[in-house]
Amino acid sequence: MGRKRTRKRKHLLFYVACCVTLLFASWGCVHAPKTREVQGRLAGAETLLAAGQYWASLAETNEVLELYPQTLRGEALFQKGLIYASPKNPERDYKKSIELFETVVKEFPQSDARGGANACVLFVQQIMDIEKEIGELKKANGRLGKALKEQKRRTKKLRAKADKLKRVLLKLKEVDLGVHEKKSSIK
């Protein structure tokens, strides 16, 4: 009927599965420190941002993007957006910030940073609208200020004319009184 099995290959699939598992585990161990390092560097960039060191934070974030373009790219782009949107940053750039947040939303739809990026786009857009309105009000105030200065100048000029006319009127009154006195003395 056939030969009897020797059971030499009984655990062959088990050995293959173990080898594959070890391969994946070792690959994960090799890449996990890099992920932790990148996360640590991004955390350092956040600390620099909180301390008001905007350019140092931006440099650190850019370095992370250059060294590790595949790992945590969404979080790094989100961090850059925060740097450019920071209200205390003297070199803030709201348009660039919105572009970075929109990139996070488009390229990383499953990322944790997506929700924050959507919210930041709305807030930054509102800030831009308010600042635009403030700029328009300042321009209008400037125009009103110029008009007010012109009105004050004209008022001063008119007051000077009125004072001159008052003096002339007083002289005429004195002359008129003098004429009345002479008429009275003649009679």
Of the chain, the end-to-end C-alpha distance in Å amounts to 172
* Contact present, 48 and 56 (Cβ < 8 Å): yes
Architecture of domain 26-186: Alpha Horseshoe (1.25)
pTM above 0.85? no
Count CA atoms within 13 Å of residue 46 on its CB side. Answer: 11
Q: Is the pLDDT of residue 24 over 80?
A: no
Domain ranges of the chain: 26-186
**Lowest-pLDDT choice from 18-22, 106-110, 130-134:** 18-22
Q: What is the pLDDT of residues 131-161, one digit of tens each?
A: 899 999 999 988 888 888 999 999 999 899 9
As a three-state string, the secondary structure of 67-121 is HCCCCCHHHHHHHHHHHHHCCCCCCCCHHHHHHHHHHHHHHCCCCCHHHHHHHHH
pLDDT score of 19: 43
In whole angstroms, what is the distance from residue 36 CA to residue 38 CA? 5
- Closest by Cα among 51, 54, 42, 60 to 93: 54
* Position 11 pLDDT exceeds 60: no
Q: Is the pLDDT of residue 60 over 70?
A: yes
- Mean of the per-residue pLDDT values of the chain: 81
Is the confidence at residue 37, as pLDDT, over 60? yes
